[in-house]
Amino acid sequence: MKVALVQMDIAWESPGKNRETEERLMFSAEKSDIYVLPEMWNTGVTTEPMGVAEPENGETLMWMQRMADKLDAAVAGSVAVKASDGSYRNRLYFVKPSETVQSSIFNFQFYDKHHLFSYGGETEHYTPGNEYVTVEWRGVRFHLSICYDLRFPLWLRNRDNYDVLICVASWPQVRMQAWKVLLAARAIENQCYVLGVNRIGKDPYCEYSGGTCVVDPFGFATVAPDNEASVLTQTLDLKRLKSFREKFPVLKEMDSI
């Protein structure tokens, strides 16, 4: 399983420009099985979604489906969405290639961010999701999470039902030490790979330096260059992961929750 993690500078509230940037970066990368984009990659993380949130089947989701079809790969990343019930969600889409030749047919699952970032005002306008979401793709089980979720190990606990934890984020430079430590901790305690995808650049609130990385089940990370738009690609060794779990059965001995 080859993964591609896309680290980018997000143009503030400019979905069209960000889609163009993402497309260029994705097609410049090594052919992969999945491409993972940052949190709210199409607009930047805004706590006032009324002007930028898309409908549930909006243009950005259609674009993600087109990219999945063109690349014959899954595409994952979060966007601000106005749900059919009128609530706003920070929604992580996991989009797979269409199951038919008609690329307009959506083939996706999604996770709505559970731990909203109250410190940054996210709770004032967004509604949290309450579903623990795991997606299977090409024989690999991916668990979905967004940014602040990373601080809550019980919510992300591997119930022996996933192999890879995805965390898409807009994690500020000022708290990068926490980002690095928490990613490693989640990988070690859950005996899994962790894909941490962060942005670079600035928005009206914070500065971001990246730190996008693939963390292996032993806590060792392969990291993208700081402050550079880039795509980090790596092949996950699932046979090694399986062997490690069999020899050192942490997941089978975990506390019940």
What pLDDT is attached to residue 102?
55
Q: Catalytic annotation on 253?
A: no
CATH number at residue 140: 3.60.110.10
Q: Which of 13, 22, 39, 122 is catalytic?
A: 39
pLDDT tens figures, 71-127: 999 999 999 999 999 999 999 999 999 986 555 579 999 999 999 999 999 999 999
| Residue 28 predicted with pLDDT over 80 | yes
Q: How far is CA 154 from CA 57, 58, 142, 150, 246, in A?
A: 31, 33, 17, 10, 23
Our count of domains for the chain comes to 1
User: Is pLDDT of 69 > 60?
Assistant: yes
Range of the domain at 37: 2-253
192 classed as catalytic: no
Name the active-site residue from 96, 147, 167, 213. 147
Catalytic residue among 22, 54, 82, 113: 113
pTM (predicted TM-score):
0.97
